[in-house]
Amino acid sequence: RPFNLEVGPLLRATLLREGEEAHVLVLVMHHIVSDGWSMGVLVRELVALYEAYSQGRESPLPELEVQYADYAVWQREWLKGEVLEEQLGYWRKQLAGAPVALELPTDKVRPAVQTYRGDTRGLEWPKGLWEGVKGLAQRENATPFMVLLAAFQVVLSRYARQEDVSVGTAIANRTRAETEGLIGFFVNTLVLRTKVSPTASFRELLTQVREVTLGAYAHQEVPFERLVEE
């Protein structure tokens, strides 16, 4: 069932009774009020409340220092003027002249109108490969994500025969301790652009990816839709 974003509620709950002592609680939240991090907070707090109430105790959860609405107001007040211009200036420079699309070879012509009819494929890595990724990351002062991103961009570059590759990635965007326990939509999308030179070593590429990633993290506050407008 669709949600009505004008009137809400944006959280629906249904309790299914399977037996005398067997129940299933079904919660459905619209993505506009929650993200992956929020779901973890919600489940963790539900478990804590269930255990306390089932034993006749009071809620063990501390009062929140701020609410999501407080964060939204703060972001709106902070992200304007010189601060917004500095943040946007970084992205203008970082994405100037970036290719419109990655021209991957496919067995069908790219449709005139994007349909989003995709699919997923699972892949299980050998443990040794994952240990190698972590080891390389430690030696190069990077993270496993940076190593995987660099490898992914190399593969895309080879297939598309393009040296300029941009990848979109989600980020939690919870840069302050006060927001870690909040339920809400904080997640943002970052564009990570890398120039994959055929003459560079993988370590050199990884150094570039590390700098690009850290730069994006430092300028993660700009909402992706605002960046698209820009």
As a whole number of angstroms, the distance between CA 29 and CA 77 comes to: 27
Does 118 have pLDDT greater than 90?
Answer: no
119-150: pLDDT as tens digits? 899 999 899 999 999 999 999 999 999 999 99
Does 100 have pLDDT greater than 90?
Answer: no
pLDDT at 216: 96
The three-state (H, E, C) secondary structure of the chain, written as one string: CCCCCCCCCCEEEEEEEEECCEEEEEEEECHHHCCHHHHHHHHHHHHHHHHHHHCCCCCCCCCCCCCHHHHHHHHHHHCCHHHHHHHHHHHHHHHCCCCCCCCCCCCCCCCCCCCCCCCCCCCCCCHHHHHHHHHHHHHCCCCHHHHHHHHHHHHHHHHHCCCEEEEEEEECCCCCHHHCCCCCCCCEEEEEEEECCCCCCHHHHHHHHHHHHHHHHHCCCCCHHHHHHC
Does 230 have pLDDT greater than 90?
Answer: no
pLDDT at 101: 86
Name the region of 161 (left: φ>0; alpha: ψ -120 to 50; beta: rest): left
Distances (CA, A) of 111 to 106, 115, 119, 166, 221: 12, 8, 16, 21, 33
Name the average pLDDT for the chain: 93
177-210: pLDDT as tens digits? 889 999 999 999 999 999 999 999 999 999 999 9
pLDDT at 26: 95
How many CA within 13 A on the CB side of residue 66? 14
pLDDT-based confidence at residue 86 (cuts at 50, 70, 90): very high
Burial classification of residue 43, based on how many CB atoms lie within 10 Å of its CB (0-12 exposed, 13-18 middle, 19 or more buried): exposed
Of 55-69, 103-117, 128-142, which gets the smallest average pLDDT? 103-117
What domains appear along the chain, each with residue ranges and CATH number? 68-100+127-229 (3.30.559.30)
pLDDT at 16: 97
Beta bridge partners of 195: 164
